[in-house]
Structures are given as C-alpha cells and as structure tokens.
Amino acid sequence: MSLYIRREAAKLWKRLCAEISTEINLLAENWKYVLAGLIFQYIHGLAARGVHYLHRPGPTLQDVGFYLLPELGQDKAYISETVFTFIFISFVLWTFHPFIFKSKKIYTVLVWCRVLAFLVACQILRIITFYSTQLPGPNYHCREGSKLARLPPPNNALEVLLINFPRGVLYGCGDLIFSSHMIFSLVFVRTYHKYGSRRFVKQLAWLTVVIQSMLIVASRKHYTVDVVVAWYTVNLMVFFLDKKLPELPDRSGAAALLLPLSKDSSKSKEENHKLLNGNSGDPADWRPRIQVNGKIMEDGTTVHVEAVMNGV
C-alpha cells in the first residue's frame, strides 16, 4: 500500500512540475494581458467608490421583483453572498485543476486571459452606465437615515485611491446598473459551459446563477433591472468577444503536442509536425521519397531490387 502511495505521489509531483513549467512559459508570453486585467479590477473598484460620493439616498423605486420576491431581511442578506462566493471559489479551483488531474482540456493562463477580457469589457459598460444615472440604492445601508448612504467629501486623494478595502466594496452605494455579481457569475458559468467536461455540473452552474439572481433581488442589493440588464449584456458581450478572440488550444489527444510555448513557436510546430509524419528535423531528410515493393528509397541513389516470380 505504501509503495502504491509513493508511486502515485511521484507521478503527481512529476505532473505538477511539468504543468508549472508549461504555465510559466505561457505566463511569460501573456503576462501583459493578465496584468492589464488585474489592474482594471482595481480601476473598476475605484469607479464604484467614486460614484458612492455622488449617491443621494431616496425612496426605494417601484420594482416588480420586490413585489414577487419576499424580502430576506438584513439578518439573511449573507445568503446571496454565500452563493456568489461558492460560484467564485468553485470556478477558480476548476481553472487550476490541470496542475493536479491527468485529464485536462485547458491551460490556466490562457483561460484567465480570456476571462479577464470578458470581465473588463463588461465592467467598462457597467462604469459608463452607473455614472450616467445614479439611482437611490435599495440596500439597507444605502437608504435614507443610514450613516453609510452618503460619503463626506474626501480629505485627500489617497483616501479615494485606497477605496477603503474591503469595507468600501461591501458597503458601496450608487453602482447599481448593472450588477457586478452577475458579471462575474455569468462570465464564469459561460466559460465553464464551453470548456468544462461535466454536463451535470454545467446544468447545476446555470441553476445556481438563476438562484443567485433571485437572491440578489430578494436581499434588496439591486433592483430587478440591474439583474435583467446583466443577463443580456454579459451574455451578448461574451458571445461577440468569443468570436473575436483566438480559440484556446485543445489539450486532448495529440493536439497538445503542437502547442507552441516559446518564441520559436513556428519552428517547434514544424518540427513536431515532421516528427509526427515520420521525418526528422534535419533539412537533409526533407528530400522526397518514393516507395518500391514496400522499400523506401531516396531519389538520386541506386537501389537493387530482387524480383521474385511465381514458381521460381
């Protein structure tokens, strides 16, 4: 039993090291896209913090979702955050599964490049939208009488730039249309729907997002319009961007052998293609060959072939 465990541990360690080496090479080629996407997450948080200074509390607007879904109350508002956290952590863990599991379909770095592109595009539209019109927040800390509903003018630029993380993110007001929680949830679920392999998990993921949508409205964190707009905006944005972005390489079968991982990608791809076709990478072996009686001969050489006749 201990021998089996040691053997499997050695295999896992070898697989982990190989995957780390591959992902580091990919990160070296795509670090600018990853860094730009992460920096924009801060810019998005800064924009949400800025609109809080413009927020003016007022009566809660008439909303059909508020009539159809009973209010959860402040003591149960954590439920929607719990569901969102489950979606977020589950997706992050799935993107790193190639480091552990033998069966894999994606490259972690390339998937996150794609995800960050989707997030940035949707967040740009979100910033434009919630700065265009500020609605009175329906959340409990954004209503009239709450000390958090309005922010006093900042004393200095540093107070704005630090965005009072994480309190400023959790208790923000004014960044309503459209829901940031739905942006992340829909981008994650659509990505898994395309690159995931478990049909049941895909169906469960979509069901979870639907439940998440209703919980956001029931906890009064957003108006129904914020969730509805997110559903068609994010899906349309991901749909069109997915057509424009280069497709991810497939890791299943021999296709993974042809993935270029360095600047000499074209050379590596040609050599792999030649090896798969039975030719070496040496230019001397690129001469055309013909086949006679099952024997391979090169042009320009003399090869003696013995003729065999029936009855001799």
Enzyme catalytic residues = 181, 222, 226
Residues 138 and 74: their CA atoms lie apart, in Å, by: 12
CA distance 181 to 272: 44
Cα distance between residue 173 and residue 157, in whole Å: 20
**Contact status, residue 159 vs residue 53, Cβ threshold 8 Å:** no
Which two tokens mark 214? 């209703």
- Concatenated DSSP letters for 132-176? H-PPPP-SGGGSTT-TTSSPPPPSSHHHHHTTTTTHHHHT--S--
Tokens of 79: 């439920």
State residue 298 phi and psi, 5-degree precision: -95, 145
> Considering only CA atoms, which of 232, 251, 57 is closest in space to residue 138?
57
Supply the Cα-derived Rg of the chain in whole angstroms: 28
